[in-house]
A and B are shown apart, each in its own frame.
Chain A
Amino acid sequence: MRLLLIEDDPMIGDSIAEGLRAEHYALDWVRDGQAALLALVGDVYDLLLLDLGLPGRDGLEVLRQYRARGGAAPVLIITARDSTLERVQGLDAGADDYLVKPFDLEELSARVRALLRRGAGRTQPDIVHRGLRLRVATHEAFLDGQPLPLSAREFSLLAALLDPPGRVMSKALLEQKLYGWNEEVESNTVDVYVHRLRKKLGADFIKNVRGVGYLVPLDAPAP
């Protein structure tokens, strides 16, 4: 899952980035509205964390422009502005949730998980597919009730393919979901993780659509 953090305060941004990266999200951090709009051009993000009090261009303006251009990712506003009017304005401008500073890191993570779940059209906290259960809150995986050891990247790749399943995702997109800007990506890294996951889940679990990318099919494969 790839997140965009838009926060001008260097210390708050640093701590949020550290905390969320520790939970295996790929996170990019921009410090002003202009940079945020640039970063959002590709629209690869699964969630936006948006501070409203940005220098230069206000957070709400960034949000409106993002929505106006069709950006669909859930947006969590994190701000020091706590009046009802400002909350209403934020939500009406297209935000999905509102978190007032100061806040708890645990709460931030929980809201991020909830928003990602809703963004994927899921109501259950765990991602469940064909006997595989991914517990997003703790990054634990279970196959037919048994714990399944997965690396953080393997977990993230699976979560990207399964949330929701049935979509073909290009290698480039999967790479973007796994890595933030300042992380080195090896050229065949997605292939390597898919290979490892197939070993653990069975060769049929992840399908390859040649020239397009990978997908986890919705229905059980034909025998």
Chain B
Amino acid sequence: MRTIRSQLLLGLLGGTLACTLVAGAAIYFKVLEESNELFDYELRQVATTLPVGQAVALAPRQHGDPEEDVVIQVWDRAGRLKYASTSTQALPAAARPGYATLASGGDTWRVYLAERDGDRVQVAQAVSAREELAARLALRSLLPFIAMLPLLGLLIYAVVGRSLRPLGRLAHALGRRSPHDLQPLGAADHPPELKPVVVALDELLQRLDGALRSQRAFVADAAHELRSPLTALQLQLQLAERAGDDSQREAAFAKLHQRLDRATHLVRQLLTAARQEGGDGEAQAAPVDLLELARACVGERYDQASAKEIDLGIVDAGMTPRVRGSADGLRILIGNLLDNALRHTPQGGRVDVSVTHANGAVLLRVLDDGPGIAAADRERVFDRFYRSAGQAEWGSGLGLSIVRTVAEAHGATVTLGDAPSGRGLLVMVAFSRTA
């Protein structure tokens, strides 16, 4: 791509040159027209006033200027050439008196023929001489402009360079930045033309900064959160090593397995959270049968539920509610909600899942009869690694955060509420993008 400077230079210079040429052509034709009138008049004057009586006195006119070189011929009554101002040019006589244009000797001539006392006087002038004059005049008046073109070029070059300096400064300011410096550039120091660019850049920087911050916070949180399961593992491993007899060792190993499961669960949830926040869930949007997906998720958790004697099931409304989205993401969403419900529901409790249509949206509801979530905590539980007070069950602290991320990627909203019975938690996910 051409530089702005060379584009401006070529465009402006070319434009100026073209204008000059058009002006030159206009001057040329105007001069030609005016000089034609003038010379025609002169031809007639010469032809009518030339004293032919004293033909002898007529000497060939010697002029330096060819446009003043007129050829004068005089014929007598018999048609004999009585006089010719030059011997080299033998022009035929025009057929009628008055103005005429003749071709002779490879040139075009403008002539005036006058009949005076039986003699015919013809004065002729070469057309090429007139054109030459017009061209010379036109050229002479254009010369200052043409001479100024290089100067104009230099001026354009300098002015454009000066005007483009803020762009260079901006580029320099950006180029000098470290990858960690995402402070806004500030539109105040830039000319108005650059402002949209600077503002757009600042917005991008701001978004990048936000994304980077949340990434850093996530990594720091993740590293921090991994300490707990690792501590539990390390302590339990030492207890297992200290075990005095087989039954103690067996118990210690059973606990060791629990702690290992927990560490694995956390790592898996971290990975899921990282993937979902990375936008993997938005990749494929296809119609998904939410009820079918819920059935599959419930089926996968049969063992888990029956181990705590929890009655886990789907309230079937006999519909096929479809939403647009990623089946993988939605499976993670439903799975996390079910895992939460199963974790917090006491032994012998009940967890209901339903998928219905409501006000043009598809509504997924998961209802448990666990301790519920205090109203004051209902916003914060979506924060990563937030744990409410007095929570006996261990979780990764990521479940609801992942649920919200997936929901947002699907344009869905998650609401926490009380169970209709007053005991337990009701999670509602409303999908507006139905299919």
* CB-based closest 5 A-B pairs: A56-B389, A15-B235, A11-B232, A102-B231, A80-B227
User: What separation, in Å, do the CA atoms of A32 and B387 have in the docked complex?
Assistant: 12
Q: Say yes or no: is B163 at the interface (Cβ < 8 Å to chain A).
A: no
Asked whether B389 lies within 8 Å of A19 as measured between CB atoms, the reply is no
Return the CB mask of A32-70 against B: 1 if under 8 Å, else 0: 101000000000000000000001110000000000000
Asked whether B235 lies within 8 Å of A32 as measured between CB atoms, the reply is no
Nearest neighbor of A57 in chain B, beta-carbon distance = B389
Q: A residues within 8 A CB of B235?
A: 12, 15-16, 19, 102, 105
Q: Say yes or no: is B259 at the interface (Cβ < 8 Å to chain A).
A: yes
Asked whether B389 lies within 8 Å of A12 as measured between CB atoms, the reply is no
Q: B residues within 8 A CB of A92?
A: none
Given A80-B227, A102-B227, A102-B231, A8:B387 Cβ within 8 A: yes
For A14, give its contact among B227, B228, B234, B255 (CB under 8 Å). B255
**In the complex, which residues 219-261 of chain B have their Cβ closer than 8 Å to any Cβ of chain A?**
224-225, 227-236, 238-239, 242, 255, 258-259
Q: B residues within 8 A CB of A101?
A: 227-228, 230-231
Nearest neighbor of A14 in chain B, beta-carbon distance = B255
Q: How many A-B contacts are there with CB distance less than 8 Å? A: 73
User: What separation, in Å, do the CA atoms of A22 and B244 have in the docked complex?
Assistant: 11
Q: A residues within 8 A CB of B229?
A: 11
12 of the cross-chain contacts (CB-CB < 8 Å) are A9-B231, A11-B229, A11-B258, A12-B232, A12-B235, A15-B235, A19-B242, A34-B389, A57-B389, A80-B224, A80-B231, A101-B228
For A11, give its contact among B236, B388, B390 (CB under 8 Å). B236
Given A9-B228, A80-B227, A105:B390 Cβ within 8 A: no
Q: Say yes or no: is A131 at the interface (Cβ < 8 Å to chain B).
A: no
Asked whether A12 lies within 8 Å of B231 as measured between CB atoms, the reply is yes
Q: How large is the interface on A (under 10, 10 to 19, 20 to 34, 35 or more residues)?
A: 20 to 34
Chain A facing B: main interface SS: loop
> What's the least CB distance linking A22 to chain B, in Å?
7
Asked whether A11 lies within 8 Å of B259 as measured between CB atoms, the reply is yes
For B262, give its contact among A11, A18, A102 (CB under 8 Å). A11
> What's the least CB distance linking B372 to chain A, in Å?
16
> What's the least CB distance linking B251 to chain A, in Å?
10
> What's the least CB distance linking A29 to chain B, in Å?
13
Given A10-B394, A15-B255, A55-B387, A80:B228 Cβ within 8 A: yes
Asked whether B392 lies within 8 Å of A55 as measured between CB atoms, the reply is no
Nearest neighbor of A102 in chain B, beta-carbon distance = B231
Asked whether A15 lies within 8 Å of B387 as measured between CB atoms, the reply is no
Given A10-B392, A56-B390, A15:B228 Cβ within 8 A: no
Q: B residues within 8 A CB of A34?
A: 389
> What's the least CB distance linking A114 to chain B, in Å?
19
Q: Say yes or no: is A144 at the interface (Cβ < 8 Å to chain B).
A: no
- Contacts A15-B239, A55-B387, A105-B238 given; 5 further ones with Cβ under 8 A? A10-B393, A11-B255, A22-B242, A101-B231, A102-B235
User: What separation, in Å, do the CA atoms of A12 and B232 have in the docked complex?
Assistant: 5
Q: A residues within 8 A CB of B388?
A: 55
**In the complex, which residues 138-184 of chain B have their Cβ closer than 8 Å to any Cβ of chain A?**
none
User: What separation, in Å, do the CA atoms of A19 and B390 have in the docked complex?
Assistant: 24
> What's the least CB distance linking B307 to chain A, in Å?
18
Return the CB mask of B377-390 against A: 1 if under 8 Å, else 0: 00000000001111
Q: A residues within 8 A CB of B230?
A: 101-102
Asked whether A19 lies within 8 Å of B228 as measured between CB atoms, the reply is no
User: What separation, in Å, do the CA atoms of A101 and B239 have in the docked complex?
Assistant: 16
Q: Say yes or no: is B391 at the interface (Cβ < 8 Å to chain A).
A: yes
